[in-house]
Structure 1
C-alpha cells in the first residue's frame, strides 16, 4: 500500500490483481448489470486513490476495498431506483401483508446489523452475497486466516441473533 501511494506501478498491479475479482464478486452479488459492476469496481479503486494516504491501517486494505465496493453497489442500486430481489426467500408475495412483513423484517435485520461489531457486519455481508464467495476469498478480503472464518461467522451470527431477540 505504501509503495502504491508513492506511485509504484508494480505495487498497483499487485493490488489490482489481488482484489479485482473480489470487488467484481461483491458488485455482482447485488444483482448489478455488467456495466454497473464495472462502474462499481472502477469507483472503488478511485475511492482508494482518493483516500490512500488517509488509511489508518494499510494492511487492512482488502477489508476497506470490500466495504467500499458494498457501499458503492448499494449507492448504484439507490440511484437506479431498484431493489435487489430476494432469491429463494420463501413463498411468493401474494398480498400487501407479505410486503409489509418482509420490509419490517428487513428493517429489523438491517438495524441489528448496525449494532454488531463492524468486523462481524463485514463478514456476514460477504457471506450473504451472491454469488457466494469462498472461505479463501472472504479470508483474503478480511485478512484473517481461512480457519478462523467459520468460527468467527458463528460468533457473529450469535451477536446478530441476540440483537434480533427472537425475530429471526
Structure 2
C-alpha cells in the first residue's frame, strides 16, 4: 500500500494502516532523536510526540509523498524542544545517589567511560555533517539509507562514501587519542 492510501486509511481509523506507517517510519524518528544525543527516555518521548502530532494532522497532510520529510522536521523540532526543557531541569546538590566503594566492576566501568569520553571528544572534532551522519547511522535498529537521506537531506548515493570518509577521519583522531 502506498503512503497516500496508508494515510487515508489511518485517518479513517484503520489500525493496520497506522501500524504500517509506524513500522515504516519509526527507525527514521529514532535515528533523528539519537542524532541529537537524547537519553533513551527523552528519545522515546520525542518519537511518541512526533506520532501524536501526525495523528493531530492526519487529515491535513497535503502531499503524502513528503511524509518522511514532515516527520523528520517534526522530530527535529521536538528534539530541540526536549533539549531546551532538559536544560531548565538541572539537578541540584544532593540529588545524586551515593556511589559504591571502588571495586573491579567500578574500575572497568570507569575505563569504559574514559574510552567513551575520548571517543566523543574525537567525534566532536569532525565536521557537523560527519557528526550528524555517524550519530544517525549508530541508531538501533540501523535506519535505511532512504531514512538517513530524508533525515539529513542528503542524496542516498553520497551516504556510503561520506560515511567512509567520516569513519576514516574518526579513526585518525582516535589514533591520536591512543584509544584501543
Is TM > 0.5 for Structure 1 vs Structure 2? yes
Which sections of structure 2, spanning at least 5 residues, go unmatched? 1-6, 89-119, 138-142, 163-180
Give the number of aligned pairs: 116
For 1:69 and 1:15, locate their aligned partners in 2 and report how far apart those are by CA, in whole Å: 15
For 1:17 and 1:41, locate their aligned partners in 2 and report how far apart those are by CA, in whole Å: 13
For 2:33 and 2:150, locate their aligned partners in 1 and report how far apart those are by CA, in whole Å: 17
Matches within 5 A, 1:11-50: 11-50=17-56
**What is aligned with 2:125?**
90
CA-atom RMSD in angstroms: 3.3
**What is aligned with 1:68?**
74
**What is aligned with 2:60?**
54
Which structure has the bigger radius of gyration? 2
**What is aligned with 1:136?**
146
Answer whether contact 1:25 1:131 (CA < 8 A) is retained.
Answer: yes
Which sections of structure 1, spanning at least 5 residues, go unmatched? 92-108, 110-123, 154-168
Aligned-pair CA distance for 1:140: 6.0
For 1:33 and 1:137, locate their aligned partners in 2 and report how far apart those are by CA, in whole Å: 21
Give the TM-score, by structure 1 length: 0.57
Moved over 4 A (4+): 124-129, 139-145
Give the TM-score, by structure 2 length: 0.53
For 2:144 and 2:26, locate their aligned partners in 1 and report how far apart those are by CA, in whole Å: 15
